[in-house]
Amino acid sequence: MLHEIMVPDLAESTVEAIVATWLKKSGDIVEEGEVIIELDTDKVSLEVVTPVSGQIKEVNKNEGETVLVGELLGIVDDSVSQSIKPEKPDTKKGSNDTEVSATPVAKKIAEKGNIDLTKIKGSGPNGKITKNDLENKNDSKKTSILPNSSGPEEIIKLSRRRITIAKRLKEVQSDTVMTTTYNEVDLSSVISIRKKFQDQFIEKHGIKLGFMSFFVKASVNALQSFPHLNSELHQDELILKKYYDMGIAVATEEGLVVPVLREADKKSSAEIEKGVAELATKAREKKISLQELQGGTFSITNGGVFGSLMSTPLLNPPQVGILGMHKIQEKPIALDGEVVIRPVMMLAVTYDHRIIDGAMAVQFLVRIKNLLEDPYQLLIDA
């Protein structure tokens, strides 16, 4: 019997992917559950497995081709006898016959490029060698003198994911009407609370009381007051979300990803801090799953960790709003007729102006500002 291998459902708002690598070719024998294709999206790399044991009869999409959800990738014939037992997918012998832990894609690249895996340091879980380890080692960049140049110029080959990210960002700008409003927030009270309760918080919960729990709680509160910013536009209908799954932007080597903190409105400050830390670690260690990137209703991004004082965050479709945090900087401000020095952060909210008016967005951001400047009510359940 012939079995079709289809492009699976991807992350929300992602409908296409790029065929990164075929780990098997037409005529190869495969075992049920074996990874045979790797797809690249703007969010994650996705491994596609064969649902049955048999022989690959057709390869319908070549490496580098863009494919859509539900398209046919290839066909496996389960009537072919399994006369050849495939090599274990997670290990590969190096030139000195030492067992090396590597992903299936890394094995394939090593075979094509005649690369000795024993000389490669893996960055994956438990030191496993990944595709990125080989690309960085092998041929990710080169230096040359170009015509009409006055000196050396470095040429860096973009990864498929970076190309896909660039394409998605262009689509966001084309398909939405992004507008941003800004405001400053005095974080004196937040900093005072963290200083006063930090030791007690760590002793009780085993994690530091950071800034993110304040911003997540303030955002949820503001979204409950202004539900249009927690919505999705679908053709001529606006879907108001009655749940609060917060996307938390995380910078990784391959670009920005936005894992989702589920049911943020039901979480304590400690649960938010632990959840955000866990998602960030998984994203940076490339352990984040496709499910953990789906379904966010609103996002928060923090350029302040890199020193940004002010920026315009970009929407993460199909979401219609995103909050941008920035660096905390001491500034002179007027307070009760006097000039005082306070720790101030610039806040930014980018929103889809097709469905959210400027007045609503401004009030939403002011609500967040007021909650952060008087945050004790946010810590009732801390």
pLDDT digits (tens, 9 = 90+) for 229-243: 999 998 889 999 999
Distance CA 28, CA 57 (A): 8
Strand-pair category, 237-240 with 246-248: unpaired
Domain ranges of the chain: 91-139, 178-379
- For residue 376, what are the contacts with CB-CB under 8 A and spacing of at least 6? 189, 193
| pLDDT (0 to 100) of residue 232 | 95
Under 8 Å between Cβ of 241 and 209: no
Q: How confident is the model at residue 97 (pLDDT cuts 50, 70, 90)?
A: very low
Residue of 199, 357, 374, 381 marked active site: 357
pLDDT value for 89 = 45
Q: Does position 190 have pLDDT exceeding 50, yes or no?
A: yes
Q: Where are the beta strands (DSSP E) in 255-328?
A: 255-257, 260-261, 298-302, 321-325
- Using the structure block, give the residue that is written with the tokens 């390869």: 59
Please provide the average confidence, as pLDDT, over all residues in the chain: 86
Whole-angstrom Cα Rg for the chain: 25
* 132 in Cβ contact with 105 (< 8 Å): no
Region 178-379: CATH code:
3.30.559.10
Better-scored residue on pLDDT, 100 or 236: 236
What per-residue confidence (pLDDT) applies to 79? 86
User: In the annotation, is 353 catalytic?
Assistant: yes
Q: How far apart are CA 202 and CA 22, in angstroms?
A: 48
Q: Answer whether residue 357 shows pLDDT above 90.
A: yes
Element (H, E) at 233: strand 231-234
Q: What φ, ψ does residue 10 adopt, rounded to 5°? A: -105, -175
Mean pLDDT of all residues in 267-272: 95
Would you say 49 and 3 are in contact if contact means Cβ atoms under 8 Å apart? no
Q: Which two tokens stand for residue 10?
A: 């991807």
Catalytic residue among 28, 116, 175, 353: 353
- Residue 189 phi/psi, 5-degree rounding, is -70, -40
User: What is the pLDDT averaged over residues 125-150?
Assistant: 64
Residue 326 falls in the annotated catalytic set: no
Quickly state the pLDDT bin for 135 (edges 50, 70, 90). low
Q: What is the pLDDT of residue 301?
A: 97
**pLDDT for 185 beyond 80:** yes
Q: Residue 188 carries which DSSP code? A: H
pLDDT tens sequence across 56-91: 999 999 988 889 889 999 999 988 755 444 544 444
What local confidence, expressed as pLDDT, does residue 120 receive? 83
- The mean per-residue pLDDT over the stretch 324-334 comes to 95
- What pLDDT digit, counting tens, does each position of 6-40 carry? 998 876 667 788 898 898 889 999 999 889 998 88
Sign, CA torsion 66/72/75/78: positive
What does the angle CA 252 – CA 172 – CA 230 come to, to the nearest 5 degrees? 85
Could you say which of 3.20.20.70, 1.10.3720.10, 3.90.420.10, 4.10.320.10 is the CATH number of the domain covering 91-139?
A: 4.10.320.10
